[in-house]
Amino acid sequence: MPVSLPAPPPVKAGTATHCPYCALQCGMNVATGETITITPRQDIPANAGGLCQKGWTAGELLTGDRLTTPLLHGEEVGWNEALDFVADRIRAVQAAHGPDGVAVFGGGGLTNEKAYQLGKFARVVLRTSQIDYNGRFCMSSAAAATGRAFGMDRGLPFPITDLARADAVLLAGGNVAETMPPFVRHLAAMREAGGRLIVIDPRVTPTARQADLHLQPTPGTDLALALGLLHIVVAQGDVDEDYVVARTTGFEAVRTSVAAWWPERVERITGVPVARMRAAVAILAAADRAAILTGRGAEQHAKGTDTVGAFVNLALALGLPGREGSGYGCVTGQGNGQGGREHGQKADQLPGYRKIDDPAARAHVAAVWGVDPDELPGPGRSAYELLDALGTPTGPRALLLFGSNPLVSAPHAGRVAERLGALDLLVVSDMVLSETAATADVVLPTTQWAEESGTMTNLEGRVLLRRRAIDPPAGVRSDLEILRGLAARLRGTDGFSADPREVFDELRRASAGGIADYAGITYERIAAETGVFWPCPAEDHPGTPRPFLDRFPTPDGRARFLPVEHRPPDEDVDAEYPLYLTTGRVLAHYQSGAQTRRIAALNAAAPEGFVELHPDLAERLDVTHGERLRVIGRRGETEAPARVSAAIRPDTVFMPFHWPGVNLLTNPALDPVSRMPEFKVCAVRVERAR
């Protein structure tokens, strides 16, 4: 059913804009007055008139406690003093240690304009190769796998509304009922029309409860499970042979490689009964239209790229990608998780999803930036490797941080705290005094979300306009103004506009001809068309909701099967650490909690972290619901109350990471391709806190 767009909401509803948080980028109206009133927009298909509790309460971000004055070593100072100090210290560090002495860390919550400007600032002003961002912790494994298979990483390569028309959806490691509640509307519509939902999760989550079939594997075994499902597809003759011949390469090697993954073997590794695997394949094989989706549960592993690769192979064998109404998709997480990975804040990237080591890409972007291609640095370190190198003899001595709170959200956070503490200079731009900002030499108070304009690319690859709805408080500056101020002090003002539209127009030129081509997208078009899907190479081009229908953007136009093999988690359980710890999210809080832990209604809904554990395990450990537990791992330990629940496997405990502590435990083992850390599985021991 094509989306019919209701008339725009009346003006008194306020300014039509989008949510500050996740990649669904729900449309909302923000009305200002005595109080701030938020209502859902009806015209944005992703949320279809819905919002979650975080969206409804987001107005408090604008009225509540936030930073309004720059801080220098904890003292309030003026902007000139703060920026002069930062510029002087950058000059001193680079004089002593070279351009790579200064590093930049960005975020997938930044608008396209900011993400682009940050990448340009690093390469043109600082001339450092040392830039990466928190998206490395998010969907980088899916990005690597789909780049490899399809030649393009666009989270969902189809409109989200396609899901409502599917006969089957398999969701591996995603808990959208808590992480993107309005997403469930599309799945519910599918089920109402007779479609079936399959969920793979070690926990019986609110999402799994809505599924027709739930597979509950041991954390870190999705790769084996996907191989097992493909084995069954092959054995039963359910491969779409015509599609495989017409649209793909490399299937024979994959067919051979899955032969060894017979269902009983996979059951032993994953704990998923053979009958359930067969039931899943039966649903998928019978479906005319089907989608296979992955979330962080399947991706955040030291083998995340191969795991996604295995699900992509399954989707290709079933003939799904590039067929209208079907496909493989990654459920992108952060507000601008998609756009934030396209425009150059990644260590190996230039705008338009170009590769920084590609001479043609360097020449194109250098021309837009008015510099010599030879002056552009090469690839730098990935996010965790960058944090891990800070303040070491060969690593950066200064860090500029925009849009992340790594003291809480990075893996092996104890190590990260030690490295941040070893820096000569830490500068944090934020709206609130996050845990990381609280340790910085300089804190720069920035405008947020509804106080500024910019574009966000949602999980569908649809570029949206997040409009300014309210004047920022006196004293704060936008990230673009901050970058302009530093560029002026370090190199003269040229080329760093603080006007989002001007930056976007430059981004369009820089991305032109790249994979993520925004050349034809304008603010006017976005407003008139309810968003524009990239690639969109010209103003008269309609945009591309389904980029793979005719061909894949690979050299031969075909999708590539690639054989992958299962392996155990980097850190397995043993006698000393007998339990798996997996981590993730709850509905009421967002990420490191820097924003949502300041909102009364959200704190009331979820006041603190917890350790979810099975009743059998609780009995074995002799602990009761609500009792304080110590969770001890090889890198650190933390405490939280027990939440006893039959919804989790007895061999696994779960903790949300919205409060400090959990990441003291997590394993920074990295995926060899994506450099994604293994957030979703490490080994721990649990005992009663003293």
478 interface partner picked from ligand MGD, Mo ion, ligand SF4, none, CB below 5 to 8 A per type: none
**390 is an interface residue for Mo ion by CB under 5 A:** no
What would the x/- binding string for Mo ion be over residues 291 to 330, using CB under 5 A?
----------------------------------------
Is residue 455 classed as helix, strand or coil in its secondary structure?
Answer: strand
Q: What is the dihedral of CA 232, 233, 238, 241, to 10 degrees?
A: -130
**254 is an interface residue for Mo ion by CB under 5 A:** no
- Nearest one of 258, 247, 250 to 553, comparing CA atoms: 247
Selected binder of ligand SF4 within 107, 157, 159, 181 (CB under 6 A): 181
Taking the complex as a whole, the smallest distance from the CB of residue 183 to ligand SF4 amounts, in Å, to 7
The whole-angstrom distance between residue 489's C-alpha and the CA centroid of its chain comes to 33
CB < 8 Å & 24+ apart, contacts of 363-367: 364/510, 364/512, 364/513, 364/514, 365/510
Distance CA 167, CA 315 (A): 14
Per the structure block, which two tokens stand in for 170? 């398999």
Taking the complex as a whole, the smallest distance from the CB of residue 454 to ligand MGD amounts, in Å, to 8
Is residue 433 classed as helix, strand or coil in its secondary structure?
Answer: coil
Whose Cβ is closer to ligand SF4: residue 46's or residue 208's?
46
Distance CA 680, CA 291 (A): 23
Whose Cβ is closer to Mo ion: residue 297's or residue 454's?
297
3-state DSSP of 56-69: HCCHHHHHCCCCCC
Distance CA 657, CA 666 (A): 10
Whose Cβ is closer to ligand MGD: residue 300's or residue 511's?
300
**122 is an interface residue for ligand SF4 by CB under 6 A:** no
**138 is an interface residue for Mo ion by CB under 5 A:** yes
What would the x/- binding string for Mo ion be over residues 342 to 381, using CB under 5 A?
----------------------------------------
**459 is an interface residue for ligand SF4 by CB under 6 A:** no
CB-count exposure of residue 326 (10 Å: 0-12, 13-18, 19+): buried
Whose Cβ is closer to Mo ion: residue 334's or residue 582's?
334
- Nearest one of 25, 297, 327, 5 to 180, comparing CA atoms: 25
What would the x/- binding string for ligand SF4 be over residues 24 to 63, using CB under 6 A?
xxx--------------------x---xx-xx--------
What DSSP designation does 375 have? G
Only one of the segments 71-79, 175-183, 607-615, 618-626 lies at the binding site for ligand SF4 (rule: CB under 6 A); that segment is 175-183
Only one of the segments 34-42, 99-107, 130-138, 383-391 lies at the binding site for Mo ion (rule: CB under 5 A); that segment is 130-138
Is residue 447 classed as helix, strand or coil in its secondary structure?
Answer: coil
174 interface partner picked from Mo ion, ligand MGD, ligand SF4, none, CB below 5 to 8 A per type: ligand MGD
396 interface partner picked from ligand SF4, ligand MGD, Mo ion, none, CB below 5 to 8 A per type: none
Taking the complex as a whole, the smallest distance from the CB of residue 176 to ligand SF4 amounts, in Å, to 9
Taking the complex as a whole, the smallest distance from the CB of residue 26 to ligand SF4 amounts, in Å, to 3
Instruction: Decide the pairing of beta strands 579-584 and 682-688.
Output: antiparallel
- Nearest one of 168, 169, 173 to 201, comparing CA atoms: 173
Whose Cβ is closer to ligand MGD: residue 176's or residue 290's?
176
Distance CA 596, CA 178 (A): 15
Taking the complex as a whole, the smallest distance from the CB of residue 441 to ligand SF4 amounts, in Å, to 32
**19 is an interface residue for ligand SF4 by CB under 6 A:** yes
Whose Cβ is closer to ligand SF4: residue 47's or residue 305's?
47
Per the structure block, which two tokens stand in for 344? 């150059």
Taken in order 372, 378, 379, 385, is the CA torsion positive or negative?
Answer: negative
Binding site for ligand MGD (CB under 6 A): 22, 107-110, 134, 137-138, 172-176, 178-180, 200-203, 205, 219-220, 222, 295-298, 300, 333-334, 402-406, 408-409, 429-432, 434, 446, 448, 479, 582-585, 587, 589-592, 594-595, 654, 657, 662-663, 666, 679-681
What DSSP designation does 334 have? B
Whose Cβ is closer to Mo ion: residue 333's or residue 396's?
333
534 phi-psi bin (left φ>0, alpha ψ -120 to 50, beta other): beta
- Nearest one of 617, 622, 681, 672 to 645, comparing CA atoms: 617
What DSSP designation does 67 have? -
Q: Which residues bind ligand SF4 (CB under 6 A)?
A: 19, 21-22, 24-26, 47, 51-52, 54-55, 180-182
Q: Which residues bind Mo ion (CB under 5 A)?
A: 138, 333-334
